[in-house]
């Protein structure tokens, strides 16, 4: 579920004008550009701190073949 929050920001007039122009040029909303910029800054901050979020893990159903066993691997691939 995605939750959007409205907020009020104080932005310098010259920055706001550039934001309007860039949003128009890209055909996006100003809010979309601000959010993209904030996401970028936060991602860079995480990388600089050396702390990255855990990658998701998926239940794949297990291995069908040991990839080191080439003969078995080729047999599985041929059966598909």
Query: What pTM does this model have?
Result: 0.55
H helical segments located in 1-80: 13-26, 30-49, 70-79
pLDDT (tens digit, 9 = 90+) per residue, 12-65?
Answer: 999 999 999 999 999 999 999 999 999 898 888 777 777 666 777 777 766 667
Q: Report pLDDT for 42.
A: 85
Look-up of token digits 């239940």: 59
pLDDT (tens digit, 9 = 90+) per residue, 54-80?
Answer: 777 777 766 667 778 888 878 877 876
Judge whether residue 9 has pLDDT over 80: yes
Q: Report pLDDT for 68.
A: 82
Dist CA 76 CA 65 (whole Å): 8
| CATH class for the region spanning 1-50 | mainly alpha
């Amino acid at each position: 579920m995605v939750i959007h929050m409205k907020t009020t920001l104080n932005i310098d007039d010259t920055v706001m004008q550039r934001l309007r122009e860039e949003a128009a040029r890209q055909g996006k909303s100003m809010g979309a550009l601000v959010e993209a910029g904030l996401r970028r800054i936060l991602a860079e901050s995480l990388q600089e701190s050396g702390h990255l979020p855990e990658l998701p893990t998926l239940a794949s159903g297990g291995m069908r073949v040991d990839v080191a066993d080439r003969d078995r691997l080729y047999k599985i691939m041929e059966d598909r």
